[in-house]
Amino acid sequence: MLRKLTYGLLVLSLLLGTSLVSLGQDDGMMEFEITQEMIDASPYLQSVLSRLDQVYDTSDFAKDPPYRIAFAAQGTSNAWSALMDAHAYWYVEELGEDVVSELLYGDAQASADVQVPQVEDLLAQEPDALILVPMGAAALSAPVERAMMQGVPVVLCASAVETDNFVTEVGTNLYTVGANLAMYLINTVGADGDFLMMTGIPGVTTSVIMEEGALAVFDSYGIELLDNQPGFWSPAEGKKIMET
């Protein structure tokens, strides 16, 4: 390691299930806590916290199988999304055609501009449900509202939209993920370390919110990043950035 200015690399990946860091288990570990100031500054946190105890009555959507499921995915732009697509197709096959007769797929190519008309096209095919990985919170809010008005239940995955009019969200608290990753580095390196941050896809809510959480923690310790660049959740792109 170069002198005692150890470089911490914070990679805000979409591997949400493995990105969570458990803090406070060892003596002397500094813990991260969401403050009211953070909540006031984050519409995302306000939405997540307001929905913690909510239950959605899905009886209006009930019907007998088989189902036609629309899957508006991020696409094969990186390893995480490619794996998610593969798992979705595998699980549909595992369930069998008597449960899911068709998976209607949309590849957003990691772009909200591409995804919005794709969702409209998927809805025109009258699916029984829509699974959506939103590529932009603002851009996908109206399509989500239209889907719900059309009677198509919307399940968000791994990201958010700027409306609470959907059935449920499968994911985790993105703000806390980013904050915990930053806190882990501070506990490991020390607050006097020097840090780099590599985020995901610019403009994609998942990356934006995780970055906000990390920056809030760094700011609370007076840490200024040496650099902060998007890595597009790509190992190849990340390696290239680190080498330049």
Q: Encode pLDDT of 76-87 as tens digits.
A: 877 888 899 999
H or E stretch at 7? strand 7-11
- Checking if the pLDDT of 106 tops 60, the result is yes
Of 170, 199, 222, the one marking the end of a domain is: 170
Residue 191 shares a structural domain with residue 219: yes
- Checking if the pLDDT of 113 tops 80, the result is yes
pLDDT, tens digit, 9 for 90 and up, residues 140-189: 999 999 999 999 999 999 888 999 999 999 988 899 999 999 999 999 98
For position 238, what pLDDT does the model report?
Answer: 87
For position 166, what pLDDT does the model report?
Answer: 94
Three-state DSSP class for 106? strand
For residue 242, give both structure tokens. 């680190």
Residue 123 shares a structural domain with residue 188: no
- Checking if the pLDDT of 14 tops 50, the result is no
H or E stretch at 230? strand 227-230
Which value, in Å, is the radius of gyration of the alpha carbons in the chain? 20
Residue 69 shares a structural domain with residue 147: yes
H or E stretch at 228? strand 227-230
Three-state DSSP class for 104? strand
Residue 136 shares a structural domain with residue 181: no
How many independent structural domains does the chain possess? 2
Residue 185 shares a structural domain with residue 150: no
- Distance between CA atoms of 38 and 44, rounded to whole angstroms? 10
- Checking if the pLDDT of 15 tops 80, the result is no
> What confidence category does residue 222 fall into, taking pLDDT thresholds of 50, 70 and 90?
very high
Residue 156 shares a structural domain with residue 70: yes
Of 170, 204, 226, the one marking the end of a domain is: 170
On whether residue 53 sits in a domain, the answer given is no
On whether residue 96 sits in a domain, the answer given is yes
For position 160, what pLDDT does the model report?
Answer: 85
- Distance between CA atoms of 85 and 155, rounded to whole angstroms? 15
On whether residue 110 sits in a domain, the answer given is yes
Residue 232 sits in a domain of what CATH number?
Answer: 3.40.50.2300
Residue 142 shares a structural domain with residue 238: no
On whether residue 56 sits in a domain, the answer given is no
Q: What is the dihedral of CA 215, 25, 19, 200, to 10 degrees?
A: 10
Residue 187 shares a structural domain with residue 97: no
For position 78, what pLDDT does the model report?
Answer: 78
pTM above 0.85, yes or no: no
Residue 105 shares a structural domain with residue 188: no
On whether residue 177 sits in a domain, the answer given is yes
- Checking if the pLDDT of 8 tops 70, the result is no
Of 170, 202, 217, the one marking the end of a domain is: 170
Residue 101 shares a structural domain with residue 161: yes
Please, what is the Cα angle at 111 between 237 and 101, to 5 degrees? Answer: 110
pLDDT averaged over the chain?
A: 85
Query: Which residue range(s) make up the domain with 116?
Result: 61-170
Q: Which range among 6-15, 31-40, 143-152 shows the weakest confidence by mean pLDDT? A: 6-15
On whether residue 211 sits in a domain, the answer given is yes
For position 29, what pLDDT does the model report?
Answer: 55
For position 233, what pLDDT does the model report?
Answer: 83
> What confidence category does residue 30 fall into, taking pLDDT thresholds of 50, 70 and 90?
low
Average pLDDT over every residue of 206-217:
93
On whether residue 116 sits in a domain, the answer given is yes
For position 35, what pLDDT does the model report?
Answer: 87
Average pLDDT over every residue of 119-128:
98
For position 205, what pLDDT does the model report?
Answer: 85
State phi, psi for 117 to the nearest 5 degrees: -65, -30
Residue 128 shares a structural domain with residue 224: no
| Chain Cα centroid distance, residue 84 | 13
H or E stretch at 129? strand 129-132
Residue 113 shares a structural domain with residue 194: no
Contact 112/136 with Cβ under 8 angstroms?
A: yes
Q: Could you tell me whether strands 67-73 and 100-107 are parallel, antiparallel, or unpaired per DSSP bridges? A: parallel
On whether residue 42 sits in a domain, the answer given is no
> What confidence category does residue 124 fall into, taking pLDDT thresholds of 50, 70 and 90?
very high
Contact 183/215 with Cβ under 8 angstroms?
A: no
* Count of other CB atoms within 10 angstroms of residue 124: 9
